Amino acid sequence: MMSKFTVVIPARMSSTRLPRKMLLDVVGLPLIVRVAQQAATSKATRVVVATDHEEIFTVCKQHNLDVIMTSTEHQSGTDRIAEVVQQLSLAEDEIIVNVQGDEPLIDPELINQLANFIAAKRSSIATIAHPIHSAEEVFNPNVVKVVLNKNNLALYFSRAAIPYYREGFNNANDIELPKHLNVLRHIGIYAYQVNFLNIYNQLPSCPLEQVEALEQLRALYNGYKIAVMTTNHAPATGVDTLEDLLRVRQIILAQEK
């Protein structure tokens, strides 16, 4: 039985690497509209865009999207979603799936799977990871890694190479990942129980969250468990750079032929 859930898409205007990213054209539609329409092909009962910018709000309204204006003071997307939960007065046991506003190719089935996963795990938070086998990705600080315990709960998330393979990584000129080393890349999609979101924005930000720039570390630091669903399939590319945008346009054009 499919669990009932709401998708919330945080969408802010400020993006340093790709200015005005949310409103950039993706084959005839603004990026944020593409993302919301893609998320709506999941089994979500509702898809809501959460923004702090009038222009994004107006564009969403023009495309008949469900959109809510939120504070400009939020430190993270999770803080923004917590405000949405309060504005909508959602029940404590409801499930929210956080889809990033720059993921126009997000697989709707991945959204469904995560919603079912958190319901089965009864965890405060759940997210997704997939194995990576490239040393370049392991050492790329833009690729977030996660280490799990035997129950598939997150021990730590980092931009650093974790776990660190002492025997192989010390020789920087000849880095080869051993076959038995399971390095997991974190995929930035989350599911939450509403009762946790009602607590999250009251939790103090922690030094780990600040230095790594990873909002999920606030939850771990304060003792909350994050269940991690693993998949063998890497998700489609998101839009962080101009190169990403061009690639996504090409993929969508090919799909629509």
Q: Measure the CA–CA gap between 176 and 178, rounded to whole angstroms.
A: 6
How many domains, the chain?
Answer: 1
To 10 degrees, what angle do helices 31-39 and 108-121 make? Answer: 60
10-residue mean pLDDT series, the chain (257 residues): 88 85 96 97 97 96 97 89 93 94 94 95 93 87 94 96 79 62 91 94 89 94 96 86 93 88
Question: Is the backbone peptide bond immediately before 163 cis, with ω within 30 degrees of 0?
Answer: yes
Q: How far is CA 139 from CA 158, 189, 208, 244, in A?
A: 11, 22, 19, 20
CATH code of the domain in which 49 resides: 3.90.550.10
pLDDT of residue 240: 87
pLDDT of residue 174: 54
Beta bridge partners of 230: 129
Residue-number span of the structural domain to which 173 is assigned: 5-256
- pLDDT tens per residue across span 137-194: 888 898 999 999 999 999 999 999 999 887 767 655 556 666 677 899 999 899 999 9
